[in-house]
Amino acid sequence: MMKTAVGMLIAVAVLTAAPAAHPGHGEVAMLSGKVTAVETDRIQIDVFDRASFSRKRVWVFVDAKTKIQNGKVRVAATELKRDLEIDCIAETEEGKDGATALRAVQIRFKRSK
């Protein structure tokens, strides 16, 4: 009985410590807005900031791991164009210069009305 309890405590300690120690898993940001600029490795999105009740432009990095969808169909990053309405799920991580950067996990095109 005692061995089982100790084993369970060790398992709980290991399972809760491992995800917290893994780098690159920061906060998740949900962005919704219009693409204002497209570069080879990042896009700029014009979003409404609810905290300041104003619009702001946010740069989001796009890489090979980013899932880009138009409806249920997966599309290439070359389909990202200016003035396109999108929903983006991005994750915060440390950039090359040490500053916080957003990396797109998933981008979905909004449907035209």
Please report the pLDDT score of residue 20 as a whole number: 42
Please report the pLDDT score of residue 18 as a whole number: 41
DSSP-derived pairing of the beta strands 100-109 and 67-70:
parallel
60 close to 77: Cβ distance less than 8 angstroms: no
Q: Is residue 3 part of a domain?
A: no
Residue 99 has what DSSP assignment?
S
Per residue of the chain (113 residues), what is the pLDDT tens digit?
Answer: 666 554 455 555 544 444 444 344 579 999 999 999 999 999 999 999 888 899 999 999 999 999 999 999 999 999 999 999 999 999 998 877 888 899 999 999 998 65
Q: Is residue 7 part of a domain?
A: no
CATH of the domain at 97: 2.40.50.140
Q: Is residue 4 part of a domain?
A: no
Please report the pLDDT score of residue 112 as a whole number: 64
Please report the pLDDT score of residue 95 as a whole number: 74
44 close to 57: Cβ distance less than 8 angstroms: yes
pTM above 0.85, yes or no: no
- The total of structural domains in the chain comes to 1
Greatest Cα pair distance, the chain, in angstroms, is 64
Q: Is residue 73 part of a domain?
A: yes
